[in-house]
Amino acid sequence: MELPIVCTLTEAELRDRRRTVLDPMKEAAISSEELPDGYAYVFPASSEVLAQLSRVVDMESRCCRFLTFRIIVQSGSQHIRLEVVGGSQAKSVIVDFFGGTKPSVILDSTMTCPACGHAKSVTMPVNQCVFFYECESCQRVLRPRAGDCCVFCSYGSVACPLIQQQAGNCA
């Protein structure tokens, strides 16, 4: 039996929750995907993000009892996954509160040194630009080319996450 879709917050409390908790969480997600009964959101892995997601789940599970939350942390992973699911009628509420689908961000890029041609697969950080990269073969220090925001945009096989998310120039 599905629980009724009822939020126990007042309008003022919900406005404040959106501004201080939910909207920043939406911005921090690097990708999301639709699930049969909800959505999954991917965040960069860090102790701070895990603590923030735990607080959000704690708060939201008290006022939105019709939702089920799962935080998934895999050892060695660069990501934390938050799944928010509910009954068939809950998906529109989940999108309203947490956001809909965001295109996936590719984090693995092959860096190719222009000096020696050495190529190496590297996992890009999601929350910062990389301005220097040392080739492990010839020890040349690579810097972004003019007009590029970081070394991944200059020498990588994939643009950096900020550019992929169309956030503009990350410089």
**Structure confidence by residue, pLDDT tens digits, 62-107:** 888 889 999 999 887 778 999 999 877 788 878 877 777 666 678 8
109 has pLDDT over 60: yes
169 has pLDDT over 70: no
What CATH number does the domain containing 45 carry? 3.30.980
Of residues 1 and 52, more confidence is placed in 52
Same domain, 113 and 89: no
Burial letters 81-92, b for 16+ CB under 10 A, else e: bbbbbbbeebbe
Which of 68, 98, 128 terminates a domain? The answer is 98
Please give the residue range of the domain that contains residue 129. 108-164
* Reported confidence tier of residue 7, pLDDT bands at 50, 70, 90: confident
- Mean pLDDT score across all residues of the chain: 84
Instruction: Report whether 30 contacts 42 (CB < 8 A).
Output: yes
110 has pLDDT over 80: yes
Same domain, 79 and 56: yes
Q: How many independent structural domains does the chain possess?
A: 2
Token pair, residue 90, equals 């809950």
Q: Among the ranges 4-13, 30-39, 115-124, which has the highest mean pLDDT value?
A: 115-124
Same domain, 114 and 42: no
Calculated CA dihedral for residues 9, 13, 15, 21, nearest 10 degrees = -90
Instruction: List, for residues 117-147, the tens digit of each pLDDT value.
Output: 999 999 888 767 899 999 999 999 999 999 8
Same domain, 92 and 117: no
Residue 3 lies in a domain: no
Same domain, 28 and 67: yes
Residue 51 lies in a domain: yes
pTM of the model: 0.60
Q: Compute the average pLDDT of residues 20-26.
A: 83
Which of 98, 118, 136 terminates a domain? The answer is 98
Residue 41 lies in a domain: yes
